[in-house]
Structure 1
Amino acid sequence: MTPSRAMAAEALLSGHDWQKREANEEARALLEAAVADDPGDSVAWADLGLTYWLEVRHLAWGGGRREMAQVIEAVERAVALGGTASAHRLLAEMRLLSPFPEMRSPVDALANARAAVTIAPDEADNLAVLAHVLALTGRGADAMHHIERAMRLDPTPPDWYRQVAGLSYLVSQEPARAAEAFGPLHGAGTFAGTRWWPGWLLASSLAQAGRIDEAAAIIHAAEGRRPERSISAVAQSLDGWSDRDSRERFLDGLRLAGLPD
C-alpha cells in the first residue's frame, strides 16, 4: 500500500496550490502512513517535509518554528537515506529561504543545491534553485548562467524562474535586463502571495535603470495592498538575501522610487 499512498500524496502536492490547504493536509496524512510502513522510503520523507514547508511558506496557514523543525528533520532524513535530487533541492530551498534566521544556512543551501545539480544536471528545477542560491549570496554571473540554462531546458518556465532570472541580473548590476525579466510578472498578482517580491524587484530595477516615474507608479500601486510600507519593512521580508552589497543596492532603488525609510 505504501507506493499507492506516496503516489496519491504526490498527486495532491504537484499543484503546490496555496489556496488548497486541505489537499496539503490530506497528503501529509498519506505520507505519515507511508513512512510508518516503510521508514526507509526517502522519497516519502522528502514529500512529508514538503508538506510542512508549504505550511511555513504560506503565511495564512500559520506554520511556525515547530513546522520548520519538522521540515528539516524529514528532509535531512531523506538525504541521509540516499535522497534524490529533489530532496537536496528542497533542503537547499529551506536553508536559503527559512523565515527564521537561525534556521538559514547559505553554505548548506549552496552545498545541497550543487548536490541536486550533480545528481540531475539536466533537470531545470535543480538549475533554477542553484541559481536562486547563487543570486541571493551575491554570485550574480554564476546565477545567470544556471537560470538561463534552466529556461532553455523549460520553454514555458514558471513565474519563479523569471523572478530568479531578474534577481540574477539585478545582482549582476544589469537593471534594464532585470526589469525586462520582472515585467511579465507585473499585474494583478504582483503583490499577491507570500514572500513574493516581484513588485519590489521591478520597482527597484526600473529606478536603477533611470525609469523613476515608472518605478514610483509601482510603489504607489502597492499602497494598501502590501503590509510593507517602508524600506525597513521590505528589508525584513527578504528572507535569504545574505549578500549585503546587492541587497543594499536593491533597497536604494526603492528609495529612488519614493518608498520611505
Structure 2
Amino acid sequence: MVTPGTHGKPIQAILFADIHNYSRLMKKDEVQTLQRVDRAVRLIKSLARDYGGDIKNIAGDGVLALFQSAQQSVKFAVEMQREFQTDAVWNSKNDPIAFRIGINVGEAYDTETGIQGHSVNVAARLQSLATPGGICVTDAVRREVRDVEGLHLKSLGAPRLKNIDETIEIYSLTGGEDFHAAAHGEIVRREMTGAIASESSIAVLPLDNLTGDPVLSHVCDGLTGDIIANLTRFRDMHVIAQRSSSVFRDHGTSPAQIARMLGVRYLVDGGFQMALHRIRLQVRLMDARTERSLWSERFDGDLKDIFAFQDEVTAVIAARLSIEVDAAEQRKLSSAPPRELEAYGLILRGRDLFLRRTREANLHARRLFENAREIDPSYPRSYAGISRTLNDAWRFNWADPPEPALDEAVRQAEIAVSLDPTDARGHAALGSASLYKRRYDESLAAFERAIEYNPNDADVLAEMGHSVCVNGDTERAITLIKRAMRLNPYYPDWYLWHLGEAHFDNSDYRLAIHTLNQMYDKTEAYRMLTASHALLGEMDEARASARQLLITHPEFTLRHWTNVPPDRNSEPRDRLIEGLKKAGVK
C-alpha cells in the first residue's frame, strides 16, 4: 500500500550494482579501498547522468539508479563494467574493484525511506546472481534490448530469488567486442590519391593481443598508436596513420600486399602479452618488398616500463631506416610519461570513446580524461583530451549553454601546452579551439607548432587544412588535406568534409558535392550538400539533403549554426546560410 507522500514513477529501468568482496577489500587495506571506491562511485555518478540515469542511493558498496529506458540502462551497465575491467589492467598490483549489476524494468516509488517497490526488490536480488564484473537482467529487460547490436544474452533459467514468489527467467548480458565495434564507423577503403613508397615510408601494424584477453585490446591499440605518434615526429620519415594500418588487424594479407595497399616500403608488426603487472613486447621491422626481417627484439619488464619500451622501439626503427636524428629531434622523441599508469589507461580508453563522435560517448570520454587529470594533474594528455571533448560539445550543440564549453576548451588546451610545449597534441587542440573562438592567427600558429613537432601526423595536417581554409587560403588547404590522405589512405569521413568545404569556399559546388558524396556516413555532410545543391538550383536534391540534415541533427537550427563556421571572411558562411534558407531550413 502506497503511503501519503509516496510518489509513483512510470515504468522505468532499475539498476542495482554492488562491489564484490567489499568487506574483504576493506579488511585488507581500508584506506586505499575507501579512496578507490570513492573515485569509482564518483565516476559512476557522472556516467549515469551522461547515459540518462539518475543515481537514487549510494550505500557503502551499493548503488541504485533509475533510467528512462532499458536500453539506456544496459548501455550504461556495459560501459561501466568495461571501465572497471580496464581499471584492473592498470591497477594489476591491487585487488580489482569488480561490480555485480542487476537490471529490471517496472514501477518504483520514491518514499521517505528511499526508492521502494517489488520491481526494485527483484533488481536487488538479480545483482547477487551476477559474476564479478557481470550483468544480470530479467526477461522483461531482454525483450526491450534484444535488437541492440552487439549485445549477447544467455539464459540462466529461472533460479529462485530470495523472498520473490514469482518465476522470472534471468539472463546474463555482455557487450562483447561486437558492441564495442558497433559504436564506431566502418573504416572504408579509399582511392589512393598518390602512393608514398619512399625509402623511409613505414606502417606499424596493430600489435597482436597474445594474451587473448579482450580487455587488453585497448592496451595493444594504445601502444601501437603511441609508437606511430613517436615515429611521425621524424621529418624525413613517412608514417601511415593508425586508422589505415588498423585495417589489417587479424588479416590474412601478405606483407608485400599490405605494403602495396598502403604505399610503404617497411612494415612493423609484433605482439603484446601481460600477466599481472609483467609484460612482454615483441616487435619486428621488415622490408616489405622482400619480406625479410631487418630487426626483431623482445622486451620484458614491468608495466611501468612500457614508455621506455616505446622510446627504444622508436629509436631503433629510426636508426634502421637510416633517419638522421639531430639533437632537437632527439629531445622531442617522446612525451613525458604520466606519474601514474592508471592515468595513461584512462587516456587510452577516453581517446577510443571520443572517436565515436556521439553525445554520450563525448561526455563519457570527458569523464575519463577528468579522472586522469585528478590522478595525475601534471599529465598534459588529459587536458588536451578534455579540450577536444568540450570543442565538439560546442560545435554540435551538446552543451547548454555552448559558449562556456568553448572557452574552457581553449583554457584546457593552453594548460596542456604549458605542461609539455613539445607535445603536438596540445598544440593541435589549442589550434582547433582557438579557430572556433575566431582567434585566427593564434590557431594557425598553434597548428604550425603542432606539425613542427609531428610533421607526419595525418590528422593534424587535415585539421590544419581546415584552419588554413577558413583563413582564405583554399589551395594550401587542399594540399595539406591531400597530403593527410596519402599518409592515411583509409582516412575518416571528416577529411572529405574539410576537402569538400575547401571546394565550397572556392564556389566549386559541383566538386564539393562529388567530394562529400564519397563520405561513408554523410551525417556531417548534409549541411553543405543542402546548400551546394540549392545554390546550383537543384532544389529537389537540396530539399532531400535538408530532410536528412534534420533527421540526423534534430537539434539543428540556423540561429545556432550561423555562429559555428569560423570563416575569417564571412562570405563563404553567408553563402552556406543562403543555400540552407533556399532549401527551407530554419
User: What SS is found at the alignment partner of 2:500?
Assistant: helix
**Aligned partners of 2:403, 2:575: CA distance in 1, in Å?**
30
Determine the structure 2 residue equivalent to 1:145: 479
Answer 1 or 2: which has greater strand percent: 2
User: What SS is found at the alignment partner of 1:240?
Assistant: coil
Instruction: Summarize the Cα distance change of 1:234–1:166 in structure 2 as closer, same or farther, 3 Å threshold.
Output: farther
Q: Which amino acid aligns with 1:177?
A: L
Determine the structure 2 residue equivalent to 1:24: 366
1:58-78: per-residue Cα shift (whole Å, max 9, x none)?
Answer: 534547454444432332122
**Aligned partners of 1:165, 1:140: CA distance in 2, in Å?**
9
User: What SS is found at the alignment partner of 1:138?
Assistant: coil
Determine the structure 2 residue equivalent to 1:217: 544
Determine the structure 2 residue equivalent to 1:155: 489
**Aligned partners of 1:77, 1:68: CA distance in 2, in Å?**
14
Determine the structure 2 residue equivalent to 1:49: 387
Determine the structure 2 residue equivalent to 1:201: 528
Which of 417, 441, 448 in structure 2 is aligned with 1:107? 441
Q: Percent identity, please.
A: 21
Greater CA deviation, 61-70 or 139-148?
61-70
Determine the structure 2 residue equivalent to 1:136: 470
User: What SS is found at the alignment partner of 2:566?
Assistant: coil
Give the CA deviation at 1:241: 2.7
Which of 488, 502, 505 in structure 2 is aligned with 1:168? 502
Instruction: Summarize the Cα distance change of 1:145–1:220 in structure 2 as closer, same or farther, 3 Å threshold.
Output: same
Aligned CA RMSD, in angstroms, stands at 2.8
Greater CA deviation, 79-88 or 216-225?
216-225
The question of whether the paired residues in 2 share the 8 Å contact of 1:5 and 1:31 is answered with no
Instruction: Summarize the Cα distance change of 1:3–1:151 in structure 2 as closer, same or farther, 3 Å threshold.
Output: farther
Give the CA deviation at 1:220: 4.0
Instruction: Summarize the Cα distance change of 1:208–1:69 in structure 2 as closer, same or farther, 3 Å threshold.
Output: closer
Give the CA deviation at 1:161: 1.0
Give the CA deviation at 1:171: 1.0
Answer 1 or 2: which has greater helix percent: 1
Give the CA deviation at 1:30: 1.9
* Number of equivalenced pairs: 242
1:181-218: per-residue Cα shift (whole Å, max 9, x none)?
Answer: 1113476x62xxxxx4x211012223344534312322
Aligned: 1:4 with 2:341: yes
Give the CA deviation at 1:175: 1.4
Give the CA deviation at 1:174: 1.8
User: What SS is found at the alignment partner of 1:259?
Assistant: coil
Q: Which amino acid aligns with 2:372?
A: L
Which of 433, 452, 463 in structure 2 is aligned with 1:118? 452
**Aligned partners of 1:14, 1:42: CA distance in 2, in Å?**
14
Q: Which amino acid aligns with 1:143?
A: A
User: What SS is found at the alignment partner of 2:554?
Assistant: coil
Using the size of structure 1 for normalisation, the TM-score is: 0.79
**Aligned partners of 2:496, 2:460: CA distance in 1, in Å?**
15
User: What SS is found at the alignment partner of 2:518?
Assistant: helix
Determine the structure 1 residue equivalent to 2:295: none
Select the structure with the greater relative contact order (CA < 8 A; seq sep ≥ 6).
Answer: 1
Q: Which has the larger radius of gyration?
A: 2
The question of whether the paired residues in 2 share the 8 Å contact of 1:138 and 1:246 is answered with no
**Aligned partners of 1:42, 1:240: CA distance in 2, in Å?**
27
Determine the structure 2 residue equivalent to 1:193: none
The question of whether the paired residues in 2 share the 8 Å contact of 1:50 and 1:71 is answered with yes
Instruction: Summarize the Cα distance change of 1:150–1:137 in structure 2 as closer, same or farther, 3 Å threshold.
Output: same
Determine the structure 2 residue equivalent to 1:78: 416
Q: Structure 2: 5+ residue runs without aligned partners?
A: 1-337
The question of whether the paired residues in 1 share the 8 Å contact of 2:431 and 2:444 is answered with yes
The question of whether the paired residues in 2 share the 8 Å contact of 1:12 and 1:27 is answered with no
Which of 423, 426, 431 in structure 2 is aligned with 1:92? 431
Aligned: 1:242 with 2:571: no
The question of whether the paired residues in 2 share the 8 Å contact of 1:140 and 1:172 is answered with yes
The question of whether the paired residues in 2 share the 8 Å contact of 1:204 and 1:254 is answered with yes
Greater CA deviation, 218-227 or 122-131?
218-227
**Aligned partners of 2:368, 2:443: CA distance in 1, in Å?**
29
Give the CA deviation at 1:246: 1.7
**Aligned partners of 1:238, 1:57: CA distance in 2, in Å?**
7
**Aligned partners of 1:25, 1:148: CA distance in 2, in Å?**
34
Give the CA deviation at 1:138: 2.2
User: What SS is found at the alignment partner of 1:184?
Assistant: coil
Instruction: Summarize the Cα distance change of 1:220–1:55 in structure 2 as closer, same or farther, 3 Å threshold.
Output: closer
User: What SS is found at the alignment partner of 1:59?
Assistant: coil
Which of 222, 233, 242 in structure 1 is aligned with 2:559? 233
Aligned: 1:182 with 2:516: yes
1:25-52: per-residue Cα shift (whole Å, max 9, x none)?
Answer: 13311222211xxx3x433443343454
The question of whether the paired residues in 1 share the 8 Å contact of 2:383 and 2:412 is answered with yes
**Aligned partners of 2:555, 2:364: CA distance in 1, in Å?**
26
The question of whether the paired residues in 1 share the 8 Å contact of 2:565 and 2:573 is answered with no
User: What SS is found at the alignment partner of 1:14?
Assistant: helix
**Aligned partners of 1:77, 1:260: CA distance in 2, in Å?**
39
Q: Which amino acid aligns with 1:241?
A: D
The question of whether the paired residues in 1 share the 8 Å contact of 2:526 and 2:548 is answered with no
**Aligned partners of 1:88, 1:34: CA distance in 2, in Å?**
20
Instruction: Summarize the Cα distance change of 1:178–1:58 in structure 2 as closer, same or farther, 3 Å threshold.
Output: closer
Q: Which amino acid aligns with 2:429?
A: L
Q: Which amino acid aligns with 1:72?
A: V
**Aligned partners of 1:109, 1:134: CA distance in 2, in Å?**
9
**Aligned partners of 1:13, 1:121: CA distance in 2, in Å?**
24
